[in-house]
Amino acid sequence: MNKKIQLFFLVILILTSCKSAEQRKIHAIQKFGYLDSIEPSKENISLYASKWGIEPNELYILDQESYKKTIWSFYENNKRLTHDLYQWHQLFVFNADENLISYQLNCRTKIVANDWDYNSRGTFSTYPPSDNSLKEFNKELKLSQLSPHFINEAGNALNEENIKDFELIIVTYWSIYHGRQSQKLIQTVLDYKKKHTDKRIKYVFVNNDE
């Protein structure tokens, strides 16, 4: 095969690969219900939070710049923790002493019928939510290390609030971009909220759109 023919097939291969990558992206957006065309403005974050059942006093926005500095400070001693804290969907359950008692994230959660199932291990079938295998890798994490980066609509950080009277603090990372997946994650937590109205639980829904 001469060089011109080889070059022709190489160009075709490159073009086909690029097209396939774009097709895969479109397929993923359609398959998992992502909302890639919505601008994550504060107005839209409030709009989708309300639409998906989050109360205004439960809504927080992640301070990305300060958050990234904090999670990179963990890297030398716990690379796994830094990696995990970068994930787009995370569920933390902290006790009154701000110790982590349960932890889940998207990349280690079972997918059922094109949706992540955040209760596939029965985590939210008990009170308090049951532990799972992920906590053992990040058990030293404290709420106090994350709460300064959770900003409410008034511009105040979670660590400035009095949360000592709560039995549990459940922190949920969500985004507009991840559309149906975020909505289902939020609903998992809201279903738990409905079952345990007699418990003193602080619900913190943290939007992490960039």
Summarize pLDDT for 30-47 with one digit per residue, the tens.
555 677 768 889 999 999
Identify which has the larger pLDDT, 66 or 5.
66
Say if residue 26's pLDDT is above 80: no
Say if residue 51's pLDDT is above 90: yes
Q: HEC states along the chain?
A: CCHHHHHHHHHHHHHHHHHHHHHHHHHHHHHHCCCCCCCCCHHHHHHHHHHCCCCHHHEEEECHHHHHHHHHCCCCCCHHHHHHHCCCCEEEEEECCCEEEEEEEHHHCCEECCEECCCCCCHHHCCCCCCCHHHHHCCCCEHHHHHHHEEECCCCEHHHCCCCCCCEEEEEEECCCCHHHHHHHHHHHHHHHHHCCCCCEEEEEEECCC
For residue 210, which of 63, 55, 29 has the smallest C-alpha distance?
A: 63
Question: Cα angle vertex 70, ends 81, 185, to 5°?
Answer: 55
Q: What is the mean pLDDT of residues 66-73?
A: 96
pLDDT of residue 24: 47
pLDDT of residue 53: 98
Say if residue 6's pLDDT is above 80: no
Predicted TM-score of the model (pTM): 0.83
pLDDT digit string, tens, across residues 149-167: 999 999 999 999 999 899 9
pLDDT digit string, tens, across residues 90-125: 999 999 999 999 988 887 777 777 788 988 888 899
* 66 contacts: CB under 8 Å, gap ≥ 6: 148, 149
> What is the overall mean pLDDT for the chain?
86
Q: What is the mean pLDDT of residues 130-145?
A: 80
For residue 94, which of 177, 152, 178, 150 has the smallest C-alpha distance?
A: 150
pLDDT of residue 28: 54
